């Protein structure tokens, strides 16, 4: 996949970028007070910093994990979404990084193979999405989201799930109407469990707990033909 360049701001209104994921609720299914999603802000205007989005490489692991620690903190590994990622590899061809002009990683997004409910259809779980806090307001999160969704569609996937801020992710077509009968495997906020159908009707009838279905760590790649 070819990298593409985009311009983002070097200055402007600041907001703390967090990666996609559920906030730590007081009790299972109980909303928490903060309304941030796992990544990006509600407005990301401006231009100025040159970046490119490329496929994640094996030697990006250390830099990616360091970025996630800066953006999310140590609690990130206790989130409900992490239960579906632990011990698994991202969906084939669907792990991306944003690189600055010096080649350093300034953003990351990954998608994971899941099953939407008991005996349900195949889907993707998006997250974590994170951007280096030093590039607040740069629009990198939005560019990563659009790139990830476009690539998932191109590769023939039918639906994407995530847990995040509905007003933010609604900009990319995500909503809670298709997740009413689905549940995450752990505490989460019902109104933040969102889905986007890439194929109309892909989640019709899906019900039950979302389950991991991706390759386990150490398994060889599987190849998916483009639709």
Asked if the structure places residue 95 within a domain, the reply is yes
Examine residue 222 and state whether it is found in any structural domain, yes or no.
no
pLDDT band at 9 (very low <50, low <70, confident <90, very high): very low
225 within some domain: no
Residue 217 lies in a domain: no
- DSSP for 181-227 reads TEE-SS---GGGEEEEESSTTTTTT--EE-EE-SPBTTPPP------
Report yes or no on 84 lying in a domain. yes
What CATH number does residue 31 fall under? 3.40.630.30
Q: What are phi and psi of 150, to 5 degrees?
A: -65, -40
Q: What angle do CA 3, 144, 2 make, to 5 degrees?
A: 15
User: Residue 143's domain spans which residues?
Assistant: 4-9+18-212
Q: Is the pLDDT of residue 10 over 80?
A: no
pLDDT of 225 reads: 46
pLDDT at 87 over 90: yes
pLDDT of residue 222: 57
24 lies in a domain? yes
The mean pLDDT value for 8-12 works out to: 36
How many structural domains are present in the chain? 1
Alpha carbon distance 20, 10 (integer Å) = 23
Whether 56 shows a pLDDT value over 80: the answer reads: yes
Q: What is the mean pLDDT of residues 57-82?
A: 87
Residue 224 included in any domain:
no
Q: Is 221 a domain residue?
A: no
């Amino acid at each position: 996949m070819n990298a593409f360049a985009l311009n983002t701001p070097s200055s402007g209104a600041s907001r703390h970028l967090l990666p996609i994921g559920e906030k730590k609720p007081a009790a299972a299914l109980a909303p928490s007070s903060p309304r941030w999603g796992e990544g990006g802000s509600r407005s990301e205007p401006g231009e100025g910093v040159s970046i490119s989005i490329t496929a994640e490489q094996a030697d990006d692991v250390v830099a990616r994990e360091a970025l996630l620690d800066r953006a999310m903190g140590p609690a990130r590994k206790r989130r409900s979404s992490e239960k579906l990622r632990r011990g698994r590899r991202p969906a084939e061809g669907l792990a991306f990084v944003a690189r600055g002009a010096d080649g350093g990683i300034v953003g990351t997004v990954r998608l994971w193979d899941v099953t939407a409910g008991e005996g349900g259809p195949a889907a993707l779980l998006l997250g974590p999405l994170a951007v280096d806090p030093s590039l607040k307001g740069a629009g990198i999160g939005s560019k990563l989201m659009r790139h990830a969704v476009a690539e998932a569609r191109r590769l023939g996937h039918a639906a994407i799930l995530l847990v995040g801020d509905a007003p933010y992710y609604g900009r990319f077509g995500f909503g809670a109407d298709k997740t009413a009968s689905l549940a995450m495997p752990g505490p989460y906020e019902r109104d933040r469990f969102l889905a986007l159908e890439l194929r109309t009707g892909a989640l019709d009838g899906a019900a039950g707990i979302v389950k991991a279905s991706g390759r386990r760590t150490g398994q060889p790649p599987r190849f998916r033909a483009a639709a």
